[in-house]
């Protein structure tokens, strides 16, 4: 669930996107999986019709165990994205890796998403560092991985210095994520495709 103010409107990248409804400083946790957003199990997914599976393929996310969650935010990919995925003690969240101004489209790099099957798509982000093709199962250049790492590291260093809406939520998953974040006195990022915050 998003824990910052967002707007959904037509995007110059593709279809509809997610736009900032407020100023979001770098280091802000913008998204996490709330306790009322359960993944469906791999077994349940395999029992779905082909049409239902295709919806998950197009709009869902998958974890490493094959469980899936239908996301309804339609956030677009960019090779120069403003948020990136981060694991904190095994808990998934998205963190702003740039200051995001009100009305600016928020984007994420799909290259960080897990998928049990390879896929690729032509990129339309039009950023100066566009990779032209993105997807899962594609080799990620060291330069891109280094960029992801440095941006997440800089953002993580600011987590406790910016206002975090997350810290005031009563959601059980939010409380667990808050405790995990607050335990990181000297945050470092484990540099792998799945970036993890360690202390």
What is the tens place of the pLDDT at every residue in 86-110? 888 878 899 999 999 999 999 999 8
Task: Please give the chain's pLDDT, 199 residues, in tens.
Answer: 899 999 999 999 988 999 999 999 999 999 998 888 767 888 888 898 988 877 777 667 777 677 777 766 678 999 999 999 888 887 889 999 999 999 999 999 988 877 777 778 899 999 999 999 987 777 788 898 889 989 999 999 999 999 999 999 999 999 999 999 998 877 777 766 567 777 5
In this prediction, residue 177 carries a pLDDT of: 94
Q: Which CATH code fits 6-198? A: 2.170.270.10
Cα torsion 131, 136, 139, 143 to 10°: value is 50
CA–CA distance from 19 to each of 33, 73, 92, 100, 104 (Å)? 19, 10, 21, 9, 5
Domain segments of the chain as ranges: 6-198
Q: Contact, 108 vs 75, CB < 8 A? A: yes
């Amino acid at each position: 669930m998003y824990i910052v103010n967002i707007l959904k409107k037509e995007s110059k990248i593709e279809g509809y996107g997610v736009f900032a409804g407020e100023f979001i400083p770098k280091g802000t946790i913008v998204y996490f999986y709330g306790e009322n957003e359960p993944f469906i199990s791999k077994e349940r997914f395999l029992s779905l019709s082909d049409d239902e599976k295709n919806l998950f393929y197009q709009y869902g996310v998958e974890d490493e165990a094959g469980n899936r969650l239908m996301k309804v935010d339609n956030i677009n990919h960019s090779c120069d994205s403003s948020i990136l995925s981060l694991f904190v003690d095994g808990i998934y969240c998205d963190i702003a890796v740039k200051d995001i101004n009100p009305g600016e489209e928020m984007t994420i790099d799909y290259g960080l998403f897990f998928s049990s099957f390879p896929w690729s798509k032509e990129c339309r982000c039009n950023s100066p560092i566009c990779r032209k093709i993105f997807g899962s199962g594609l080799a990620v250049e060291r330069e891109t991985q280094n960029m992801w790492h440095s941006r997440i590291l800089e953002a993580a260093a600011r987590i406790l210095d910016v206002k975090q809406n997350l810290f005031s939520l009563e959601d059980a998953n939010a409380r667990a994520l808050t405790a995990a974040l607050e335990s990181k006195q000297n945050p470092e990022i484990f540099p792998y495709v799945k970036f993890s915050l360690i202390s």
